[in-house]
């Protein structure tokens, strides 16, 4: 038996120290033996000495770029959780030898790196060799859905249903794909078919949301209530049912569900307020929504002076100065550290806790102020001054934003427009459009700028709520399927007297909205 055969025998039997001694001797005599370097690297990997393993395997690869060596190097990097380098060497390996285990590792690396497109590419290689593998098909569909590749997701969910026509989950997921592409009728058909296969929570919940989008509120209530029979504590379903009631202005029916949202945030704060008077206590107000939510519901904070001796407002830094200027009676905090309070409440729950239904909405005429003294030289013009905000947070609702090529149809008017964009859209250029981004660092700056305007034109966003709270005349452009708070029965809003609403007549199409806005200013 040769020395290498002895080393291999020890290695296979788990006698790593004995194998290591022989590998070391062999490398003294032949330091460029790529086979021994590879084996030594594998041994070091088994000993969890990953850096040493990498050194041996890299040298082996330099001498002989074998797919076996590349595969071992990929595994070492994978175990080191260096997924970028793991991918590099696994892909070198499978380019020559498409090992199934290596492809599966590549898929996992891409997933861990959040690159679902890359994962799908290699899953499809596995699928080409195993087209009846339901687990594989469903994984491709789910990853495609997550990455926004709805066409691929649709195709693979359909493949799944061909292999298993009784898969009510796949039928439901296919419906979600159609809904994300605004094909509500096909989505509805899938949800109903899912229910026909099996009475299930997911299909009832999704039908409840879809029927609200279609303004069929009776059916929305019906299916969401059925979903809650399956999962009585599901907060997302309670939230959806709450919104279905609220959009119909059924305040108390809606809020008893709506108030259950975001328990993971609310449990971070002690002693949820019970709505009663506690004259010797302090209350902490926080927000479990976005900037616009905080601005909208901050109108209720003033009322808390009747219930508590002290009010603490925990706010993100972007709102700190705005709130300090407007709520001088409150202690404004931006850090959760060392907060001294007795009760807590989300600002979004205050209408319900205060018993102020929609008929008692306070301060619709405006409740925030800002210094409109002109610190912006850009406003030195005799032209009508109009603010614009057309592109919001894409993680929230893509359907709210308007493409710039549609917005710019109004820019040729003989007025001066001011962009309130803070994202990539601020780079848009037009001779009648001034960019305010360099002059704005927080919402108080934004408020000061808005007070110089004759009109604000905006999508559903924090800008809309700020303009309304300031009493600035505002045209609010809404998608056909809008947030519950804008209701659906009026072109005005009970929240803000200064806002007029322009809605899509066909969901997803903004041209008619822009035409109406253009004619009215």
Question: Are residues 278 and 228 part of one domain?
Answer: no
Q: Does 365 map to a domain?
A: no
The answer for 366, left when phi > 0, alpha when psi is -120 to 50, beta otherwise, is left
Q: Does 194 map to a domain?
A: no
Cα 300 to Cα 307: distance, rounded to the nearest angstrom: 12
Question: Are residues 343 and 433 part of one domain?
Answer: no
Question: Are residues 277 and 252 part of one domain?
Answer: no
Q: Does 322 map to a domain?
A: yes
Question: Are residues 399 and 472 part of one domain?
Answer: yes
Q: Does 353 map to a domain?
A: yes
Q: What is the mean pLDDT of the chain?
A: 95
Which token pair is 274? 């019970």
Range of the domain at 232: 207-261
Q: Does 129 map to a domain?
A: no
Q: Does 336 map to a domain?
A: yes
Residue 375 has pLDDT above 70, yes or no: no
- Give the chain's domain count: 4
Question: Are residues 389 and 354 part of one domain?
Answer: no
User: What pLDDT was estimated at residue 521?
Assistant: 81
Kindly report, residue by residue over 9-62, the tens digit of the pLDDT: 999 999 999 999 999 999 998 999 999 999 999 999 999 999 999 999 999 999
Question: Are residues 386 and 504 part of one domain?
Answer: yes
Kindly report, residue by residue over 254-295, the tens digit of the pLDDT: 999 999 999 999 999 999 999 999 999 999 999 999 999 999
Q: Does 89 map to a domain?
A: yes
DSSP codes joined into one string, 427-487: G--BTTEEE-GGG-SSHHHHHHHHTT-SEEEEESSHHHHHHHHHT--EEEEE-SS--GGG-
Mean pLDDT value across residues 239-248: 98
Instruction: Confirm if 136 and 130 have CB atoms less than 8 A apart.
Output: yes
Q: Does 296 map to a domain?
A: yes
Question: Are residues 287 and 384 part of one domain?
Answer: no
Question: Are residues 273 and 237 part of one domain?
Answer: no
CATH code of the domain covering residue 251: 1.25.40.10
Instruction: Confirm if 447 and 466 have CB atoms less than 8 A apart.
Output: yes
């Amino acid at each position: 038996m040769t020395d290498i055969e002895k080393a291999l025998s020890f290695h296979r039997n788990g006698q790593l120290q004995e194998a290591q001694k022989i590998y070391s001797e062999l490398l003294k005599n032949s330091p460029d033996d790529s086979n021994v370097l590879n084996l030594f690297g594998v041994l070091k990997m088994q000993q969890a000495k990953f850096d040493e393993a990498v050194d041996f395997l890299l040298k082996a690869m330099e001498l002989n770029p074998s797919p076996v060596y590349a595969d071992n190097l990929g595994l070492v990097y994978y175990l080191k959780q260096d997924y970028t380098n793991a991918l590099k060497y696994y892909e070198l390996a499978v380019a020559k030898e498409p090992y199934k285990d290596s492809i599966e590792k590549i898929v996992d690396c891409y997933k861990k790196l959040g690159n679902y497109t890359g994962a799908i590419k290699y899953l499809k290689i596995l699928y080409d060799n195993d087209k009846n593998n339901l687990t594989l098909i469903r994984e491709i569909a789910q990853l495609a859905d997550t990455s926004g590749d709805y066409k691929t997701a649709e195709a693979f969910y359909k493949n799944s249903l061909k292999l298993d026509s009784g898969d009510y989950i796949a039928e439901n997921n296919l419906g979600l794909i159609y809904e994300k592409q605004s094909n509500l009728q096909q989505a509805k058909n899938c949800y109903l078919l899912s229910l026909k296969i099996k009475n299930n929570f997911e299909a009832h919940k999704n039908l409840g949301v879809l029927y609200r989008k279609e303004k069929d509120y009776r059916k929305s209530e019906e299916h969401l209530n059925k979903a809650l029979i399956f999962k009585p504590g599901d907060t997302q379903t309670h939230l959806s049912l709450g919104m279905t009631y609220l959009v119909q202005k059924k305040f108390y029916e809606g809020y008893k569900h709506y108030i259950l949202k975001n328990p993971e945030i609310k449990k971070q704060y002690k002693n949820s307020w019970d709505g009663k008077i506690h004259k010797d206590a302090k209350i902490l107000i926080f927000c479990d929504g976005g900037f616009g939510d905080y601005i909208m519901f901050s109108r209720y904070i003033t009322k808390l002076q009747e219930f508590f001796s002290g009010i603490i407002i925990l706010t993100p830094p972007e709102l700190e100065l705005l709130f300090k200027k407007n709520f001088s009676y409150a202690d404004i905090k931006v850090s959760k550290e060392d907060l001294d309070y007795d009760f807590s409440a989300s600002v979004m729950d205050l209408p319900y806790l205060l018993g102020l239904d929609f008929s008692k909405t306070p301060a619709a005429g405006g409740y925030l102020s800002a210094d409109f003294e002109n610190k912006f030289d850009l406003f030195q013009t005799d032209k009508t001054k109009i603010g614009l905000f057309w592109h919001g947070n894409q993680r929230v609702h893509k359907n709210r934003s308007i493409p710039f090529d549609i917005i710019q149809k109004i820019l040729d008017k003989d007025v001066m427009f001011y962009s309130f964009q803070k994202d990539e859209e601020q780079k848009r250029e037009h001779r009648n459009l001034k960019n305010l981004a360099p002059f704005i660092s927080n919402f108080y700056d934004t408020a000061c700028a808005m007070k110089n305007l004759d009109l604000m034109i905006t999508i559903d966003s924090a800008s809309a709520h700020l303009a309304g709270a300031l009493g600035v005349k505002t045209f609010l452009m809404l998608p056909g399927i809008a947030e519950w708070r804008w209701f659906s029965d009026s072109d005005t809003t009970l929240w803000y007297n200064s806002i007029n609403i322009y809605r899509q007549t066909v969901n997803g199409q903004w041209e008619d909205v822009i035409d109406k806005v253009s004619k009215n200013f």
